[in-house]
Chains A and B, each alone.
Chain A
Amino acid sequence: MTNSTMPAERLLDLENVQVHFPMREGLVKAVNGVSYHVNKGEVLGIVGESGSGKSITARAIMRLLPKRAVDAGGTIRFRPRDGEEIELSALSRNSRAIRQVRGNHIGMIFQEPMTALSPVHTIGTQIMRTIQLHKGLSRSAARERAIDLLAKVRLPRPAELVDAYPHQLSGGMRQRAMIALAISCDPSLLIADEPTTALDVTTEAQILDLLKQLQAELGMAIIFITHNFGVVADIADRVSVMYLGRILETASVDDIFYAPKHPYTQALLRSIPRLGVDQGRRLPTIPGMVPDPFSVPQGCEFHPRCSHARAGLCDVKAPPERRFGSQMSRCHIADQFVQEPVHV
């Protein structure tokens, strides 16, 4: 246990978390010094392109890293709503302590519900097992709670669907069933890893609506991982932007969208087509592509693609975290560069 205690409102605290993958071609620093925190009851959005490390960081919290991943340092501390502070980074993948946290204090939902739900057990059985394990309820009480949960996630005919297998449900209904499973033990934190990416827009809107309602009702915090800026604008209170295993900017959702202080955030936002803006014109793009993880650029990892990069500074020295009130930007010139209007 570290000596410093977390502030009272703090639920989760990541400090300099590192996850490496030793590969034949070299060492991949998939998560390269990530620090963020989640307060009780808030929604933290994590956005980034594929390979930026957003999912691996979430897996590090759950201690569910792939077998070949190396936990290369950093601390992850978690204090459930009612309970002692736990240093998650000190727990091993299969320890009794982490199994008490998973499913009980921290729930997780994924992009593809079929990867999380067992195809050979009914929805009801899977929820009941979790409740029986963590809450010590009897079979019949657990079944009743499972039906309640299915009603809570607004599945139609919950008393019937409790005996359904996942394959009998549509994609949106499966996602609801997985949410019911994740919130079955009333967790303090829900980690949602691209939960709406595979869904149609009208179903996505329903699921986002449901998550917002459950969050308000149960007072749980959510880490919402997505690559969709529209979704993050809709659900998040604060947002962290990741690139190549690092967080480049963290700010309130309004600051991220209307006053970003990192060139990468600005450039990403400009490259999304917006309704009613610039129809038919070419989109401003970020030159080049994400470098391969074996040859991460020196200095600021974004400098080769950055239109503001300064020779002799950005290509030499890694930028420190610079703070502007509650906004953090990992950019040398965060306070200097002229803020071009992102939202035209």
Chain B
Amino acid sequence: MSDLSAGAATLPDDVLISVRNLKKYFPIQAGWLRRKVGDVKAIDDVSLDIRKGETMGLVGESGSGKSTVARLMLRAYSLTGGSILFRQSDGSVIDVSNLTDRQMRSLRREMQMIFQDPYSSLNPRMNLLELVGEPLVIHGVGTQAEIRDRVAELLEVVGLRPEFLNRYPHAFSGGQRQRIGIARALALNPSFIAADEAVSALDVSVAAQNINLLQDLQEKFGLTYLFITHDLGMVEHIADRVGVMYLGRLLEVAPTEQLFSKPLHPYTEALMAAVPQPDPRGNRTRKRVPLKGEIANAANPPAGCAFHPRCPYAQPRCSAEVPALRAVEGGRQVRCHFAEELSLAGAVA
């Protein structure tokens, strides 16, 4: 598979995966003949570099396309446009976007995903040995005895008792099921894991335990995470850098501290202001003007900047001209015409 465009693609040394001008349009079909009448632009021109060993956070509201980005990276969906460059464990760089399914399958050893819902993502008829061992079986790694040993080891790594091998998912709590999903993702020693709302469905005390586990595993195995969430407190805690998505577009990318202390995009500011903090006195003094309206229809996005109908700082130019995601000082990127002129409030002093 390395004969495919591997030579042509290059990546900066510290980058593990690079998404360039990613597009995913879902066709809108209508009528008896199911003719295509338009597109839902689920992802429109998203570019993102994820560095080796870092946690890249991706935040946004439902329908912003954050999960779709992860699914495209792992090629669970086919791309409409753009490219995805990935550095394999042998150091060679491969363009994931034009691999066949068969070629992709072997690459999935290195790229894995953890899902939000620990109830629907585990087959209730498979025990832990089968669930966690399935990736090993599919990839033909090891004999039965070796797989058994490896699964027991994986269960220990995620903090479950190895003697649970023969139990079924129903016997476990939500937090434990999430750990089973993590063990399954780790089975083939991946370098990259996309965690899609991995702790969102869990109670606070369980979420804290699992977040700590993810951080431990990252240190131990040198993992790179794409951490997708709508929980800003969580992303600030775990991510090194954060991307903010809205209506299929990336509006801002910045190192976590800078993003939270000085957002450059009005949507980032609004998002931070909207989250109630576990701090009653702070909530009383903080000025919070709720954002007007709702996220626009992705099948019929507003002209110009996708956020302009809800933006308190919008000017005529915003409805006429689509802003580009451009680099600004401090290694940050922002998709706003007026980023330099606005002085926006962060969530952290």
Q: Give chain A's interface residues, CB within 8 Å of chain B.
A: 49-50, 170, 172-173, 200-206, 208-209, 227-231, 233-235, 253-254, 257-258, 267-269, 271-276, 278-280, 282-286, 289-290, 343
Contact = CB atoms under 8 A, between A and B. Distances in A.
A283 B233 CA distance: 12
Interface stretch (B136-144, B150-158, B201-209): B201-209
B340 to A, nearest CB: 25
Contacts of B295: 200
Contacts of A272: 204, 208, 233, 278
A205 B291 contact: yes
Interface residues of B, number: 45
Among A267, A285, A343, max chain B CB count under 10 A is at A285
A66 to B, nearest CB: 20
A279 B205 contact: no
A222 B61 CA distance: 27
Contact of A230 (B61, B175, B278): B278
29 contacts: A200-B61, A200-B62, A201-B230, A202-B290, A202-B291, A205-B275, A205-B276, A205-B288, A208-B276, A227-B203, A229-B204, A230-B233, A230-B277, A231-B276, A234-B276, A267-B205, A269-B278, A271-B207, A271-B208, A272-B233, A275-B233, A276-B260, A279-B236, A279-B237, A283-B208, A285-B208, A289-B205, A289-B206, A343-B279
Contacts of A200: 61-62, 230, 295
Interface string B272-289: 011111111101000010
A203 B230 CA distance: 13
Nearest to A342: B278
Given A49-B205, A203-B294, A227-B204, A276 B347 contact: yes
A202 B279 CA distance: 18
Contacts of A271: 204-205, 207-208
Please classify the interface of chain B as helix (H, G, I), strand (E, B), loop, or mixed, using the class held by over half of its residues: helix
A205 B290 contact: yes
Contacts of B206: 49, 289
Contact of A275 (B208, B274, B348): B348
Contacts of A230: 233, 275-278
A202 B276 contact: no
B349 A276 contact: yes
B223 interface: no
A220 to B, nearest CB: 21
Interface in B229-267: 230, 232-234, 236-238, 256-257, 260
B223 to A, nearest CB: 15
A275 B204 contact: no
B215 interface: yes
B271 interface: yes
Contacts of A234: 276-277, 280, 283
B95 to A, nearest CB: 33
Contact of B283 (A50, A233, A289): A233
B271 A201 contact: yes
Contacts of A208: 276
A282 B281 CA distance: 26
A284 B212 CA distance: 9
Contacts of A202: 61, 270-271, 274, 290-291
